[in-house]
Amino acid sequence: MKTIEITATGRKELGKKAAKQLRKNDQVPCVMYGQGSENMHFHAHKNAFRKLIYTPNSYIIDLTIDDIKCQAIMQSVDFHPVTDEILHIDFYKIDNTKPFKMEIPVRTVGLAEGVKAGGVLRVARRKLLAKAIIENFPDELVLDVTDLKIGNAIRVNDINKEYKDLEFLDPQSIVATVEVTRLAKSEAGLEEDLEDEEAEEGAEGEATGTEETKE
């Protein structure tokens, strides 16, 4: 799993007023939770988190708070509703001997059979939530869509066969599917309408011919 280093400073003062003052100085207030350990409050400059937040990747964080070093993952981040500035970040401290939950990016490879036939590939899940110990987390989940036909889908439990060291937490969720395009649907609908019209015209012709014969 990819790692990123962040150096931070412990927070001596807590509360809304102290957090507001930190943000004025471009600092982001944070807290780290962990099994069997006390919560740690700290802050760092907002630029220290840009690579962590504004990326499709997932990272293990080598975090240094004053003279304390540990590994963590980002749990959640709060943004300002208007400016999108980072307001607060929650982290989770990792115990290397215990499994934890983390989202892993999904990358598709191959040209799906359904796409060749005129369909379009839809990736429903860009990241999947899994549980494992730290050494079993891959940088990404590689999904081969070559054999995927129109109307077919790949679910989370299909991926589990290749990544047996991971426990996926939503096994029935669809990850990718090949759908019929709107254009193909409209063309198919137009063809059906034309066939129906031709069938109706043929039926009317037969009926007219029958009536003329009777006269």
| SS3 of the chain | CCEEEEEEEECCCCCHHHHHHHHHCCEEEEEEECCCCCCEEEEEEHHHHHHHHCCCCCCEEEEEECCEEEEEEEEEEEECCCCCCEEEEEEEECCCCCCEEEEEEEEEECCCHHHHCCEEEEECCCEEEEEECHHHCCCCEEEECCCCCCCCEEEHHHHCCCCCCCEECCCCCEEEEEEECHHHHHHHHHHHHHHHHHHHHHHHHHHHHHHHHHC
Going by pLDDT thresholds of 50, 70 and 90, the confidence category of residue 185 is low
Percent of the chain past pLDDT 90, that is, above it, reads 68
pLDDT tens digits along 54-89: 988 999 999 999 989 999 999 999 999 999 999 999
Going by pLDDT thresholds of 50, 70 and 90, the confidence category of residue 34 is confident
Global pTM value: 0.75
Give the pLDDT score at 183. Answer: 57
Going by pLDDT thresholds of 50, 70 and 90, the confidence category of residue 182 is low
The rounded mean pLDDT for the chain is 85
Top pLDDT among 7 and 207 is at 7
Going by pLDDT thresholds of 50, 70 and 90, the confidence category of residue 213 is very low
CB 91 within 8 A of CB 42: no
pLDDT, average across residues 17-29: 94
Domains observed in the chain: 3-95 (2.40.240.10), 102-180 (2.170.120.20)
Give the pLDDT score at 92. Answer: 94
Give the pLDDT score at 180. Answer: 84
Going by pLDDT thresholds of 50, 70 and 90, the confidence category of residue 161 is confident
